Chain A
Amino acid sequence: MAVGSVGGFLACGHAQVKVPAVPLAHLWVEAEGHRDAGRWVEAAGLAERVLQRVDQGETMPAGMVPDQVRVLAAGWALRAGVTGVAEAQARRVVESPTAAAWRGEARLILGVALLGLERGGEAERVLEPLAEEARFRDRVGLLRAWAARAAGRLDRAAALLAERVRLAGGDEEKGEAAWAWAEVELERGETEAAWTAVRHLLERSGAGANPAAAGLLGLRVMDQAARSQGSELVLAVGAALPSRDRLLAAHATAEAELRRRRDLAGAAEGAGAESVARWRREQQYARLSAARAALEAQVHFDADLLVRRARAYHARGQVWESALVSERVLARWPAAPQAEEAAAWRVRALAESRRPATAITAAESFAERHARSALLAPTLGVAAGAAAALGDGPRQVRLLAAALAADPAPDLRDALRLRQAQAWIGVGAFDEAWKAAGGLRADSASGSWREEARYLEAMASLAGGEARRALVELAAYAAEYPEGRFSADAAYREAAARFGLGEFPEAERATAAWLERYPADHPQRGEVLSLRGDILSAAGQRETAVEAYRGALEHRLEAEGRAHALDELTRLEVALGEGARAVSRWRGLAEANPDDPLTLSAAYWIGRILSQEGDAAAAAEAMAALVRPHLADPAREHVERVLAEIARTLGRANREPVAPAETWLLESAQRLQPTARARARFLDADILARRGDVDAAEALLDQLEAECPLPALPPALLARQGDRRRLRGDRDGARRCYEALLACVPASRLQEVALVGLGELALAKGDSAAALAWFERALRSGTPTRLAEASIGRAAAWQMLGRRDDARAALEEGVADRAWRGETKARAWVLLGELHAESADPASLARARACFERVRVAHRRATTWHLRAALGGGQVLERLGERTAAEELYRESLADPRVAALPESTLLRTKLARLVNPAGGGR
């Protein structure tokens, strides 16, 4: 009887149809035929039929044992997926007292069937005895583990699986065990063990491998590790996992091998254990295929992996590495969903690795690409911090405004509002700061920052000169927060406010009350004492002021506060005739901390006090003593500042001739040291220059490079030499000096001088691209010594590159910046004028004229730019047809002897001559 379906199977097994007496042997042969053809349902059904007839009393055919038949039937039912029947048949054999020979096989099948029926605990009990039997031990190992897992006994499952990985003989079983082990350990939360299992899986090859599963499990391990173990494991996993392409390629090989083994095995069937083995292989193949499909569906697996690594690097403080990894995501998968997070991490990493300019650019790019991102507000907040690090207050304010406009979460919103108020104070917009702080105090969504806002409101008032209002607000703060975090500072500020209002007695009482209230080791005690000194000094109580300042110096003070206290104390001591004491104190300070910026103040005061006593030589010697031990060390940059003070002291007119510094500044051993000799030579040149003998000074410095190799020169002298040579047109010499300055390690704060200088050299050479690179590097350097020069240089490079809009915007910002002064500002006006003059329309020409006029009126001392402004202004007037005005302008400019002395003034003369005598032209 042929059957073709489960229904058919049921019909075979249970129908009440009266079956003709087909001999059992024939039925069995038919069943085996179905088995050979892979028709498991039919085979199992016929086997069931045979067994039913045997149960009904028929005799089993010769050579066939009922228990064996039962085991086979159970195995075939298992293959057919009829797990209940498989269980029933197998159980009968297991429980049969006479089935010893087949009990093991039956147990195996029963265990698998119970697993299929999700009765893990029972499966475990059934399979346990097989672990003692040598012929089943290996085969049942993995099954026991699965049973333990199904029963919820994860610890046991993990132990069994780890054992299988170690002891299993075949690749396939090792691979299966490793995969299951990884999953179980993840469930247990044992991340390290899970990674060990995944590594085993990755190391497998051939039929035992499951690379796709290993990759996906690896990501899960990384996530779990990030939550619990820390970043080190995340990074270890991230470095070890191959790319998606490599995983899929390896996976294809593994699938092919398993398929090949499956096909080789064929349909030939033995006893029940072989059924189990085949069943397992089919399950394994299905799992392999599913893993491949899952990895194929994760199109952005690689980007996912890298973003996890970026997070982990950042968590470990490896922000440079985090930035690199994020950049890779953005470069290779710019459209992936992970790109947004990567871009945000990149901004943070750049800011924290002290690349604020690049961080800001990255944040602005983020804002363009992900305008609706939930990460936009925090990212812009980070960029605002970067702007603060650059000292770019206006930009910080703009970025904070943009961050607030990006609808941040309430907590972040309040934090940003507070920072915005602080930023307003930083740019001097005290009124805005006061309003911002007041607004935050009134309507803080999270309530987290009210106290800070209240306090900041008062500070904004104080900084904005609204002392009365500040006093009211400070009183309100003290009333609302009597033991607040800022109470001590508020009391101090109250005293400062009263001092600012000229209420000296009240201010003095406030400082006394503060000193009474707060302990001796309070960190602000020094500051309060210093303020007290200011108050008493202003009130004419010099002696008590001196006591207060001395007391302040015994406590902790910020650098600026210490400098102020020292300066004021010194002034009072000199007034009280205690100059020697002041000199002694300064000397002690400089000797104890030669690298302290106060050494310069020490030199100044010592020089001034001793000079006032009429002894310039003693003043010079006292200052020289401060720096003499360090003259041979090019890394001690404070030496140059003190030497400058010595030059100032000795350089005043009508002083007696000074011996060469080598003879009195250097110790005998130092006369052989190039750095020390160079410093002495520079001092001589400075003294000569201050006394008006510029030519002699220049001659000395010209000799210097021949005697002292550049690496021996300290940074300040390299910077000076570089600038000096550049201004004299010695480009190669200047370049060598600047490069030596850049090569100083640690990097000197003066390296910006070199960067700007090299940029100017490139501009002079006409290499605008190189110039732009140098100036941008200067602006990124984060030490704005020459911020204005670098900015204007960059604008000039942009102009040469044809980026006129960028140049114009930068120059307009610069001329509006009060920090730009003198030559720099004059140059900015001239360049801006020249940009406007490129256009023919009258409005632009009028703007150009105004720019040039500005220089001629306000920057006459910047002679080079004065001349250039005259040239530009005259040309504009000529183009506007105002020949008479142009002629007047040229004459007026040439009347300035400084302009007339410049070689380029011949251009002015030529133009003037042409205007006066159009026919003859200029000669």
Chain B
Amino acid sequence: MNAGAEDCGGRRRCILIPGLLLPVVTVALARVLVVLLLALSGILPARTVDARPRSAPSPLAEDARSPDVPQTWNGARIRLTDGRVIPWDAAVIRSGRVVVSLPGAAAAEWSVPLELIAALEGPEPAALAEARDALERGQALAALAAAGDGVRQFAAWRTLPGAWWLAARTMEVRARVRLGKWADVARDAVELEFLPPGSEPRQWGTIARVRLALEAAASGESDGRSSVEHTGEPEGGRGVPGSETGASDDDADLLQIMAAAATPEVEVEAALAAGERALRRSDWTAALDALLRIPVFHPERTEIQAAVLLRCARAYAALEDRGREERTLLALADGYPDAPETAVARREFAERFP
């Protein structure tokens, strides 16, 4: 369109065309003006380089806000590197940018590159709170579902500070632990390898790996193989449990976990796993060192004390410490009269201390 510059060739056409073109020109000019204004204000591509280190491949190019992902996050907002904030509910990720719908205008929206996002700010999302509550009530399945919602909600944002993705994944791991889904926990740990070893999901991953190896070894024995022939390669393949080395990487990892567990539940499970491994390689001292942590530091876990005490008594027997073996069997029988292990303890006591 070049009404001003073109030779029309005919006066009528030249008069008509400007009239028709005027609204179009006005709108176009307005658009140009808007674009200019926006460019001046820095919203349009500003070529800012985000210097934040990325610890894992960024998924932020994915589109979020699929229908099955919870959208609301009360009181949350997105803070940009220049200090501006965007309400969470007004933003979506599309094609590698955060797109913000302008209020009122039906089709008006603006976007910023993902690199301009400094952090997400907001309280604990409802999904996570629900997962936490469900875990406390002992409803692990419900917790898993709620945590999964949280994971999906923040999947697209997960590398950003303030995103609750890792918290949601951790809650997922906890729920899987409660459900005994050790294979899933071990797989989670592989996916979360970028986390430091002292983080809760990684610690659970180590425990899950050891648990799976122990279960594989136990099932090998029940197949009739000699108890000393198992070498059960665990998933993840990180070290053969005990048979060739006496103390493998997993044993060292479990020791570290017991020394600096993320939660009491982690410490208990690590102690049980370490104790079981030590018993299998006949390292009675290491077994006692692991298992006794449970009655000493976690007496509230009454449901496992009897089993632990029985194993401790056997370790004392192997070390020929008859005094402590006797006391332990008596403590078990007196303290947990209804536990299934107590019948075994009474029988062993009668045999060993006639």
Q: Which residues of A contact B (CB under 8 A)?
A: 239, 313, 317, 320-321, 324-325, 328, 331, 354-355, 709-711, 735-736, 739-740, 742-747, 751, 755, 758, 762, 767, 769-770, 773-774, 777, 780
| B296 CB within 8 Å of chain A | yes
Q: Classify chain B's interface size.
A: 20 to 34
B284 contacts A321, C-beta separation under 8 Å = no
Beta-carbon contact of A767 and B282 below 8 Å: no
Contact: A710 with B228, CB < 8 Å?
Answer: yes
The reply to whether B317 and A743 form a contact with Cβ atoms under 8 Å apart is no
Distance between Cα atoms of A239 and B293 in the complex (Å): 12
Beyond A320-B288, A773-B245, A774-B246, 18 additional contacts (C-beta under 8 Å) are A239-B299, A313-B296, A317-B327, A320-B292, A321-B292, A321-B296, A324-B293, A324-B296, A711-B227, A736-B226, A739-B281, A742-B281, A746-B317, A758-B246, A762-B246, A770-B247, A777-B247, A777-B283
Q: How far apart are B117's CB and chain A's nearest CB, in angstroms?
A: 34
Supply 16 A–B pairs (Cβ within 8 Å), ascending by A: A313-B296, A317-B324, A317-B327, A320-B288, A324-B289, A324-B292, A739-B282, A740-B228, A742-B281, A743-B282, A745-B314, A762-B246, A770-B245, A774-B246, A777-B246, A777-B283
In the complex, chain A residues whose CB is within 8 Å of the CB of B229: 736
Listed residue (B228, B284, B293) with the most chain A CB atoms within 10 angstroms of its CB: B228
B247-A773 in contact (CB<8A):
yes
Closest to A743 in B: B282
- With a CB–CB cut-off of 8 A, which chain A residues contact B282? 739, 742-744, 747, 751
For residues 267 through 301 of chain B, which have their beta carbon under 8 Å from a beta carbon of chain A? 281-285, 288-289, 292-293, 295-297, 299
Contact A711-B321, Cβ < 8 Å, known A320-B288, A324-B292, A767-B245: no
The distance from the CB of A116 to the nearest CB of chain B, in whole angstroms, is 44
Closest to A774 in B: B246
CA of A321 to CA of B288 in the docked complex: distance in angstroms? 9
- Is B302 among interface residues, defined by CB-CB distance under 8 A? no
Residues of A within 8 A of B226 (CB): 709-711, 736, 740
A740 CA to B290 CA in the complex, in Å? 23
Closest beta carbon of chain B to A357's beta carbon, Å: 11
Contact: B228 with A743, CB < 8 Å? yes
Say how far A311's CB is from chain B's closest CB, in angstroms. 14
* Binary A-proximity of B243-279 (CB < 8 A = 1, otherwise 0): 1111100000000000100000000000000000000
A residues near B319, Cβ cutoff 8 Å: 354, 746-747
CA gap between A324 and B297 in the complex, in Å: 9
A397 to chain B, nearest CB (A): 27
B318 within 8 A of A: yes
Contacts A331-B259, A354-B319, A743-B227 given; does A325 touch B296 at CB 8 Å: yes
Residues in B whose Cβ lies below 8 Å from that of A744: 282
- Nearest-Cβ distance from residue A218 to partner chain B, whole angstroms: 16
Measured in the bound complex, the distance between the Cα atoms of B245 and A739 in whole Å is: 11
CA distance A324 to B296 in the complex (A): 8
Chain A residues within 8 Å of B247, by CB: 770, 773, 777
Q: What is the CA–CA distance of A747 and B281 in the complex, to the nearest angstrom?
A: 12
- Residues from chain B with a CB closer than 8 A to the CB of A239 are 299
Task: For A741, give the chain B residue with the smallest CB separation.
Answer: B282
When C-beta atoms are compared, the residue in chain A nearest to B300 turns out to be A239
Q: In the assembly, what is the distance between CA of A321 and CA of B259, in Å? A: 15
B320 sits at the interface (CB 8 A): yes
- CB-CB nearest in chain B for A765: B244
Q: Which B81-135 residues have a C-beta within 8 angstroms of A? A: none
* Cβ–Cβ < 8 Å partners of B228 in chain A: 710-711, 736, 739-740, 743
A313 to B299: give the CA distance in the assembly, Å: 15
A710 to B247, CA, bound (A): 22
Secondary structure of the A contact surface, majority rule: helix
User: Nearest-CB distance from B349 to chain A (Å)?
Assistant: 16
Q: Which residues of B contact A762 (CB under 8 A)?
A: 244-246
Q: Which residues of B contact A (CB under 8 A)?
A: 226-229, 243-247, 259, 281-285, 288-289, 292-293, 295-297, 299, 314, 317-321, 323-324, 327
Q: CA separation between A96 and B352, bound complex, in Å?
A: 81
- What separation, in Å, do the CA atoms of A770 and B281 have in the docked complex? 14
| Residue pair A747, B246 in contact (C-beta under 8 Å) | no
CA distance A747 to B279 in the complex (A): 12
**Separation of A709 and B282 alpha carbons in the complex (Å):** 19
- Cα-based distance from A321 to B319 in the complex (angstroms): 16
For B292, list chain A residues within 8 Å (CB). 320-321, 324
Contacting residues, chain A, for B227 (C-beta < 8 A) = 711, 743
Q: Across the two chains, which residue of chain B brings its CB closest to A322?
A: B296
Task: Tell whether A354 pairs with B321 under 8 Å between CB atoms, given A324-B292, A773-B247.
Answer: yes
The 9 tightest CB contacts between A and B, nearest first, are: A770-B245, A742-B282, A739-B228, A773-B247, A774-B246, A747-B318, A773-B246, A743-B282, A745-B318
Are A355 and B285 within 8 A (Cβ)?
yes
CA distance A747 to B321 in the complex (A): 11
Complex contacts, B293 vs chain A, CB 8 Å: 324
* Min distance, Cβ B218 to any Cβ of chain A, angstroms: 15
> Bound state CA distance, A711 and B323, in angstroms?
27
Chain B residue nearest to A777 in the complex (CB): B246
Whole-angstrom distance between the alpha carbons of A339 and B311 in the complex?
31
Report whether A746 and B321 are in contact in the complex, using a CB–CB cutoff of 8 Å.
no
Chain B residues whose C-beta falls within 8 Å of the C-beta of A745 in the assembled complex: 314, 317-318
Measured CB to CB, the closest approach of chain B to A94, in angstroms, equals 53
For A736, the closest partner residue in chain B by CB is B228
A581 to chain B: closest CB distance in Å? 36
A739 to chain B: which residues have CB within 8 Å?
228, 243, 281-282
Chain B residues whose CB sits within 8 angstroms of the CB of A746 once the complex forms: 317-320
Cα distance A739–B229 in the bound complex, in angstroms: 9
Tell whether, in the assembled complex, residue B317 and residue A735 are in contact, meaning their CB atoms are under 8 Å apart.
no
Most interface-central of A739, A747, A769 (chain B CB within 10 A): A739
Contacts of A355 in B (CB 8 A): 285
CB-CB nearest in chain B for A236: B299
Return chain B residues, CB-CB under 8 Å to A769.
245
- Separation in Å of the B220 CB from the closest CB of chain A? 14
Looking at the assembled complex, report how far the CB atom of B174 sits from the nearest CB atom of chain A, in whole angstroms: 20
Residue of A nearest to B283 (CB): A777
In the bound assembly, the distance between CA atoms of A740 and B319 in angstroms comes to: 16
Q: Output the nearest chain A residue to B285 by Cβ-Cβ distance.
A: A355
Given known contacts A324-B289, A355-B285, A710-B226, A747 and B320 CB-to-CB distance under 8 angstroms: yes
CB neighbours (8 Å) of B246 from chain A are 755, 758, 762, 770, 773-774, 777
Bound together, the chains give a CA A103 to CA B282 distance in angstroms of 79
Q: Whose C-beta in chain A lies nearest to the C-beta of B291?
A: A320
User: How far in angstroms is the closest Cβ of chain B from A320?
Assistant: 5
Residue of B whose beta carbon sits closest to that of A762: B245
Contacts of B296 in A (CB 8 A): 313, 321, 324-325
User: Known contacts A324-B296, A743-B227, A743-B282: does B243 contact A735 (CB below 8 Å)?
Assistant: yes
Q: How far is the CA of A780 from the CA of B286 in the complex (A)?
A: 12
CA distance A751 to B296 in the complex (A): 30
Distance of A838 Cα from B319 Cα, bound (Å):
42
* B244 & A735 in contact (Cβ 8 Å cutoff): yes
Query: Roughly how many angstroms separate A60 CA and B205 CA in the complex, as a whole number?
Result: 83
Please name all residues of chain B whose beta carbon is closer than 8 Å to the beta carbon of A317 when the two chains form the complex: 323-324, 327
Complex Cα gap A695–B115 (Å): 78
